[in-house]
A and B are shown apart, each in its own frame.
Chain A
């Protein structure tokens, strides 16, 4: 199957932009020297790009690139894998919370074109949504709590 390299290349450029933002932001928030984190960031971005390529190669699977990225890192970091020590040591320099700020900054901006649609909804939708959010969260938490107790894990 022919890959759309033009699109992948543009995605890679954006990934590099995101990587630079994370390096600068986590330097402010978590005092990680930018230079120290560069090798880890290169690995993280390489896996992210790999995930995009796999996603593009498997259009029928509908398995998102985010999941491919997680799965790849999961496999590389399992305790019995020879890669785990060096992989975890390097990617440790990329702080978990540090990767979240740019996502949410862009997410906030990206919903900017939904404000008008949102204004058309009534306050009832807001109230119902709050109960929907709470319902799924506590529904799952209660079931999980019970099952984990039965299993003796907690």
Chain B
């Protein structure tokens, strides 16, 4: 759900400035979506989206049996990988013809396209929750409490980050899954080019590029843990429409007999995270990650760097 906030200027401007100074100012969504004189970008991007979707659907759903469970590869996974590969900095840098179809202009325009392409999916999610509304309401307490589970990032990832030698970056990187609301909050609290801000930005970028791929694989594999598919479905709602879709879509394909319920639970949880996520970061995540950092850094932090730590 938070994907569509990607183009919210207050988040993106600071982020772009922090990363690259030489870039021209970002166009607003309205400017990007203006067809006048930009028709060829729309045409090329639409055709690219069509061709990638057709290829992905042609490959279809692929299942692989591993010893520990089944990996389900959905067409959306092929679509994101192909989409990523055809951009100017990857295959486009080798193949000139490709660069003339997908240039940075089309890459820029793709952002607003994602926000709009998500809406039909939003409608479909609504049609999954509606008929199951009674069960969803009954599971209300579980929905609310599992939101606290998102703090798991701090308990699991913070020690790892410290062991790897990160310092205050670790606080930003592990405070939450670092979607747009977190980026906004951390940017405001610490500044986006501070160590904390850099950490948040790192996890954010990783999530943007690899999130759907990772959760697309984890969604189906997680069944092997023995956790109930409905609990896993709730866990898939993390505040990102595309990650939730990847996680719940592959989970639903792995447990087809509960498919509708899984998608309904995931969509509900994601909607809830959209509402609670921001407050959870401000009132729980940031205090907790700082508290844990104080305790864990002296134990796990790299000793030779101790002088540099605040």
Q: B-contacting residues of A (Cβ < 8 Å)?
A: 4, 6-7, 10-11, 13-15, 17-22, 24-26, 28-30, 41, 44-45, 47-48, 51-52, 64-79, 81, 84, 87-88, 91, 94, 96-118, 120-121, 124-145, 147-149, 151, 153-154
Contacts and interface: CB of A to CB of B under 8 A. Distances in A.
Interface string B138-178: 11011101111111111111001100111000100110111
Nearest to B30: A7
Contacts of B79: 100-105, 108
Nearest to A154: B228
Contact of B84 (A74, A102, A112): A112
Which of B49, B246, B271 gathers most chain A CB within 10 Å? B49
Interface of B: 1-5, 19-20, 29-30, 33-35, 42, 45-46, 48-50, 52-54, 56-58, 60-61, 74-77, 79-90, 92, 102, 104, 106-108, 110-131, 133-135, 138-139, 141-143, 145-157, 160-161, 164-166, 170, 173-174, 176-178, 202-203, 205-212, 214-215, 218, 222, 225, 227-228, 230-232, 234-238, 241-242, 245-247, 249, 263, 267, 269, 271, 274
Contacts of A126: 206, 210
B176 A112 contact: no
Given A64-B1, A112-B107, A142-B149, A129 B84 contact: no
Contacts, number: 448
Contact of A14 (B60, B112, B146, B208): B112
Contact of A29 (B75, B141, B245, B267): B75
A74 B126 contact: yes
Nearest to B31: A7
Contacts of B176: 132, 136
Contact of A154 (B85, B133, B231): B231
Contact of A109 (B45, B170, B246): B45
Contacts of B19: 117, 120
Given A100-B245, A104-B242, A145-B227, A19 B120 contact: yes
A72 B123 contact: yes
A134 B90 CA distance: 28
Contact of B53 (A25, A127, A134): A25
B207 A129 contact: yes
Given A29-B60, A112-B88, A129-B202, A137 B130 contact: no
